[in-house]
Chain A
Amino acid sequence: MTKITFVDAAGQSRTIDAEDGSTVMESALKNSIPGIEAECGGACACATCHVYVDDAWMEKLGKPEQMEEDMLDFAFDVRPTSRLSCQIKVRPEIDGLSVTTPEKQG
């Protein structure tokens, strides 16, 4: 199990145990984390699982692939730390990851 912390737009923080091999989006839904809609169910086709990755984790996560970067065009208030949580795989190396959910997924 890998710990992931979700901070909502109001600053409230929730830490969950995520299963390795799943995605950050799936783990969020499983734990009823607010602010993640994931309308398309993880097909990288909707940009409603948009999160801001904590600065400290940017390098470790690596760069988004072209498809994810393209889909981020459909998100709002995109920042350099923006990622789609359906494209981040849970693995032991990201234990302690912290992400912030946007005010609105659009």
Chain B
Amino acid sequence: MSEIIKTDVVIVGAGPTGLFAVFELGLLDIKAHLIDILPKPGGQCAELYPEKPIYDIPGFPMVTGQGLVDNLLQQIEPFGPTFHYNEMVEGLDVLGTPEAPAFRVRTDGGKVFEAKVVIVAAGGGSFQPKRPPVATIEAYENKSVFYAVRKMEDFRDRTVLIVGGGDSALDWTLNLHPIAKRIILMHRRDEFRAAPHSVNAMRELVASKQMDLLIGQIAGLKGEDGRLSAVSVKTADGVSDVACDRMLPFFGLTMKLGPIADWGLNLHEQLVPVDTEKFETNAPGIFAIGDINTYPGKLKLILSGFHEAALCAQKAHRYVYPEKKLHFQYTTSSTNLQKKLGVA
């Protein structure tokens, strides 16, 4: 087991709400680590609509998704949060008592954290690869069907069917080509979103018959015990089988609640119910803020997440510093807060 990272608060999710929680906690001298499954901060803002305008952030008549994320990162910089990307929180164990909570948090990448407070700011859940809706695909996953390449060796001397038309599909076509027995790239149309130079490189390999390009879609899987023998594909000529023993489908990401469902929290329609004073869940010391929570009158707005972050930080302070009294202060007038922000 890797070394345990000890901190005041673990924030699950680095979207706008999780980022602003760092600010509100920081003003109260509470240190935070953020864990996100994406390779970058910003959550849905950065993943789904980085260039789309947002019109309902108070004080910003218009800001893009990425613009908001960039501003939040600048705003929380004085508090030096630590980010852990490409990691999904898998397990959560309760170590403390309801009065003095403590938690151990484990990620799928093997990182282990110990914190007094956990703030779930996981939005719509974790972004996970989209699974083609064909029968029995679950049986092949992580044996013959992969949604990412973790070890290139898994593909050596294999006949690999790569499905998709974006950068992931094209990059892996080119990267696996030298070690695979044969690469077959399949896409629904003869047009590719991927970077033009990789599309050109792929077309050259096809022209020199070093790989195959197929215009079609997945219709079914054939094989047994998780070992793929062929993929049934639908093309303009009808349905036929393509022999292969590996498949890599790249259809983008979808949001799934994921392991949060197994943490012993009350759930209501895939959302976590909280109170509206502290935004705490049924488990003392575990808070839920932003799109992932629910309460009477809840609106899934970024501004609601900001409000919730501020209020949950107040209660988090009591868990982190049980002896200290909390005095409410304004950043405009408090020298103490301004020192923390590095402006006084």
CB-CB nearest in chain A for B253: A46
| A76 and B132 form a contact (CB under 8 A) | yes
> 18 A-B contacts, Cβ less than 8 Å apart?
A40-B48, A43-B48, A45-B47, A46-B48, A47-B252, A48-B254, A69-B189, A70-B193, A73-B165, A73-B166, A74-B252, A75-B251, A76-B217, A76-B218, A77-B217, A78-B188, A106-B132, A106-B254
Q: Is B246 an interface residue when CB atoms closer than 8 A count as contact?
A: no
| A40 and B164 form a contact (CB under 8 A) | no
Task: Specify which chain A residues have a CB less than 8 angstroms from the CB of B251 in the assembled complex.
Answer: 73-76, 106
Per-position 1/0 for B244-258, Cβ under 8 A of A: 000000011011000
CA distance A70 to B322 in the complex (A): 53
CB-CB nearest in chain B for A43: B49
Task: Specify which chain B residues have a CB less than 8 angstroms from the CB of A104 in the assembled complex.
Answer: 133
Q: How large is the interface on B (under 10, 10 to 19, 20 to 34, 35 or more residues)?
A: 20 to 34
Q: Is A103 an interface residue when CB atoms closer than 8 A count as contact?
A: yes
Task: Tell whether A73 pairs with B188 under 8 Å between CB atoms, given A43-B48, A43-B52.
Answer: yes
CA distance A46 to B131 in the complex (A): 13
* Main SS class of interface, A: loop
Task: Specify which chain A residues have a CB less than 8 angstroms from the CB of B133 in the assembled complex.
Answer: 76, 103-104, 106
Q: Is B130 an interface residue when CB atoms closer than 8 A count as contact?
A: yes
Q: Can you list the 6 inter-chain pairs with the closest CB atoms, starting with the nearest?
A: A104-B133, A74-B252, A43-B49, A45-B48, A40-B48, A70-B193
Q: Is A54 an interface residue when CB atoms closer than 8 A count as contact?
A: no
* A-B contacts besides A76-B218, A104-B133, 16 pairs, CB < 8 Å: A39-B124, A39-B254, A40-B44, A45-B49, A46-B252, A46-B254, A47-B252, A69-B189, A73-B166, A73-B187, A74-B130, A76-B217, A78-B188, A78-B217, A103-B133, A106-B254
Per-position 1/0 for B185-196, Cβ under 8 A of A: 001110101000
Task: Specify which chain B residues have a CB less than 8 angstroms from the CB of A45 in the assembled complex.
Answer: 47-49
Task: Specify which chain A residues have a CB less than 8 angstroms from the CB of B49 in the assembled complex.
Answer: 40, 43, 45
CB-CB nearest in chain B for A45: B48
CA distance A74 to B193 in the complex (A): 11
- Quick one: which of A12-71 are within 8 Å of B by CB? 39-40, 43, 45-48, 69-70
Rounded to whole Å, the gap between the CB of B276 and the closest CB of chain A is 24
Rounded to whole Å, the gap between the CB of B253 and the closest CB of chain A is 8
Per-position 1/0 for B121-157, Cβ under 8 A of A: 0001000001111000000000000000000000000
Task: Specify which chain A residues have a CB less than 8 angstroms from the CB of B217 in the assembled complex.
Answer: 76-78
